[in-house]
Structure 1
Amino acid sequence: MRVISGTHKGQRLYSVPTHDTRPTTDKVKEAIFQIIGPYFEGGMVFDGFAGSGGLGIECLSRGASEAIFVDKEQKAIKTVKDNLKSLKLEDRAEVYRTDASRAMKAASKRGLVFSYVFLDPPYKKFSYEELMENLLEYGLLEKNTLVVCEHDVSEALPEKVGALRLFKQEEYGSNIGVAFYQKED
C-alpha cells in the first residue's frame, strides 16, 4: 500500500498485521479519488473503520486540512499512528479507538463538521443506512459533503438516506462495491 498522489505521493503505508482488517487496495483508492476529486482545498475528513488509515491519509496528502481516524481494533490504531508518524502528519490528525457511531456522537458534541466521510466497515456487519443516519442526526455534514461507502457488491445500498443522495456506484473486481453519496440542501 502507498499514497497515490499529493505531497506524500509514493510513500509506503504500513498494513494492519491481522487478517481481520481488509485494506482498500491502491487500485480502488485511486478510482475513488478520480471520482471525488484529485485534490482538495482544505476540509475535514472522517475515516470511520480506518484500518491502516489509507483513505484519510490520502485526503491529507491531497490537501485536506485535518482528519479523524476511528477504529475499534488496537492493531489498527497503532498502524494508523505509525503511518501518520512516518509521514509527519500527526499534527493534522486525531486517532480514536472506539466504534464509529460513538465517535460521531463525540464529534457532534465538539461541533465538528466533515467535508469527506469514508465508511468501510467489515462487510455485512453494519448498516450503512444507520451510519449515514447518525451522520445526519448529529449534524456532522456540511453542504455538499461526500460520503464514500465501500461494501460487498451483494449488499444493496439505498438510493437516498435523508439529505444524502447516491450519485454514483461502482464495482471493482468480483466483490468490492463503492457507493458515493452527496449531501443535498
Structure 2
Amino acid sequence: MRVISGEYGGRRLKAVPGTNTRPTTDKIKESLFNIIGPYFEGGSCLDLFAGSGGLSIEAVSRGMDTAVLIDKDPLALKTIKENIEMTKESKKFTVYRNDANRAIDLLRSKQQTFDLVFLDPPYLKQEIVNQIEKLITGNLIVDKGLIVCEVEKKVDLPDNIQTATLIRQERYGITKIMIYEIEAGEKNDE
C-alpha cells in the first residue's frame, strides 16, 4: 500500500495487522480519486472506518486541508498514527478511537463540517444508510459535499438518502464504490 499522488505521493503505508480490516487496494484508490478529484483545493474529510488511514492520507496528500479519522480497533489506531507520522504533518489529522455512530454525535456537538466523507465499514456490519442520515441530519456535510461508500458488490443502497443523491457507482471485483452528493440548499434545521 502506498500514497498514490500528491504531496506524499509514493510513500509507503503500513497495513493493519490481522484480518479485521480490508484495506482499499491501490487500484481502487487511484480510480476513486480520479473520479472525485483528482485534486482538491482545501476542505476537510472524514473517514468513519479509517482502518490504516490510507484514504484520508491520500485526500490530504491531494489537497484537503484536514482529515478526521475514526476507528475503534486499537491495532487500526496504532497503524493510523504510524502512517500519519510518515506525512510529517500530523497537525492536519485528528484521530478518535470511537464507534462510528457515537463519533457522528461527537462531531455534531463540535459543529464540524466536511467536504468529503468516506464510509468503508466491515461488509457484515454495515449501517450506511443510517449513518448517512445521521450525517445529513447533523448538518455535518457541506452543500455539494461527497460521500464515498465502499460496499460488497451485491449491496444495493438507495439512489437517494435524504438530500444525498447517488451520482456514480463503479465495481472492482468484489467491491462496489457508490458516490453520493449532497444537494445544495437542503439543510436540516434541527
* Pair 1:177-2:176 in alignment: yes
Aligned ranges 1:32-181 → 2 under 5 Å: 32-173=32-173, 175-181=174-180
| Aligned-residue offset at 1:76 | 0.3
Q: Spell out, residue by residue over 1:88-130, the C-alpha distance to the aligned partner (whole angstroms, 9 max, x if none).
A: 1211011011111111111111110000000000003122110
Give the AA of the match of 2:175: I
Secondary structure of the 1:124 match is helix
- List runs of 5+ in structure 1 lacking aligned partners: none
- SS of 1:108's equivalent in the other structure is helix
Does structure 1 residue 21 correspond to structure 2 residue 21?
A: yes
Give the Cα separation in 1 of the matches to 2:81 and 2:42: 21
Q: By how many angstroms is 1:137 displaced?
A: 1.3
Indicate the percent of aligned positions where both proteins have the same amino acid. 46
Give the deviation of 1:33 after TM superposition.
0.3
TM-score by length of 1: 0.98
Q: Which amino acid aligns with 2:176?
A: G
Between 1:48-57 and 1:125-134, the stretch displaced more is: 125-134
Q: Distance between the aligned counterparts of 1:44 and 1:89, measured in 2? A: 15
How many correspondences in the alignment? 184
Output the CA distance in 1 between the equivalents of 2:177 and 2:116.
Answer: 14
Distance 1:167 1:154 in 2: 18
Q: Cα deviation per residue 1:48-95 (whole Å; 9 max; x = unaligned)? A: 100000000000100100000001100000100000012112110110
Partners in 2 of 1:40 and 1:86 — Cα distance?
21
Question: How far 1:160 sits from its partner (Å)?
Answer: 0.4
Distance 2:10 2:170 in 1: 25
Deviations 1:130-180 (A, max 9, x none): 01001011110101000000000111111000000000011001x100000
Does structure 2 conserve the Cα–Cα contact (< 8 Å) formed by 1:44 and 1:114?
yes
Asked whether the 8 Å contact 1:124–1:152 carries over to 2, the reply is no
- For normalisation by structure 2, the TM-score amounts to 0.95
3-state SS of paired residue (1:83): helix
Aligned equivalent of 1:5: 5
Runs of 4 or more, structure 1, over 2 Å off, are none
SS at match of 1:30: helix
What's the counterpart of residue 187 of structure 2?
A: none
